[in-house]
Every structure is written in C-alpha cells, then in structure tokens.
C-alpha cells in the first residue's frame, strides 16, 4: 500500500491565525482539498473511539465515500485508505461534479 501523507487538521480563525486540532487528521489531495479525515471522540457514547470519513466517491468525485467508527486511529486511517479510489493522490486534477 502507498504511504499516505496524513496531516493534522487545521482551522483558520477569524483573526487569520491557524490552529491545528488535537487528535484530528486529514489526508489532502495535491491541490489542498481534503479527501479523508479521522478524529478522536473525547466524550459521548463513542468516547475513546475514532470517527473516519472518506470525502470522495469511488470515481474520485467529491462526496460521501464512506464513514464509520474504529477502535483506534490506525484502524480509522486504514479504513479510509482502503476506500480511496486508485490514483487519488497522483498528480492530476481531481474531478468535479461538473466535469463528470
């Protein structure tokens, strides 16, 4: 399996500063668009588990490619990577809904 470049999810505040979220990771496409995300539940019924989201469909178009909950961050990351379409991180434009 190809090694993927997961990065801490960051958010831009209204004052322009950028903050990285703890226990929150995103996999970005070359153009900066997120294609997958995982984060740790700190409280609630899933406390201690990890949510995962694939943000592209099987044909590579932005959309819901799958979601779930895993026992560990590694399991969440692997679930996302299994569902990512082949070539999602190759250097080519990511399709848009308009181009499909």
pTM of the model as a whole: 0.78
Q: Are β-strands 6-12 and 50-56 bridged in parallel, bridged antiparallel, or unpaired? A: unpaired
pLDDT more than 70, % of the chain: 84
Residue 3 reports pLDDT greater than 90: no
Average pLDDT over residues 31-58: 93
Residue 4 CB-density burial (10 A; 0-12 exposed, 13-18 middle, 19+ buried): middle
5 touches 28 (CB < 8 A) = yes
Determine if residue 77 is left, alpha or beta; phi over 0 gives left, psi from -120 to 50 gives alpha, anything else beta. alpha
Average pLDDT over residues 57-76: 93
């Amino acid at each position: 399996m190809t090694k993927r470049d997961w990065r801490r999810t960051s958010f831009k505040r209204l004052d322009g500063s950028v903050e990285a979220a703890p226990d929150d990771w995103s996999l970005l496409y070359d153009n900066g668009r997120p294609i997958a995300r995982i984060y740790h539940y700190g409280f609630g019924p899933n406390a201690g588990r990890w949510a995962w989201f694939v943000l592209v469909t099987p044909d590579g178009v932005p959309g819901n490619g799958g979601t779930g909950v895993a026992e560990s961050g590694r399991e969440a990351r692997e679930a996302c990577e299994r569902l990512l379409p082949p070539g999602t991180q190759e250097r080519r434009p990511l399709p848009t809904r308009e181009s499909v």
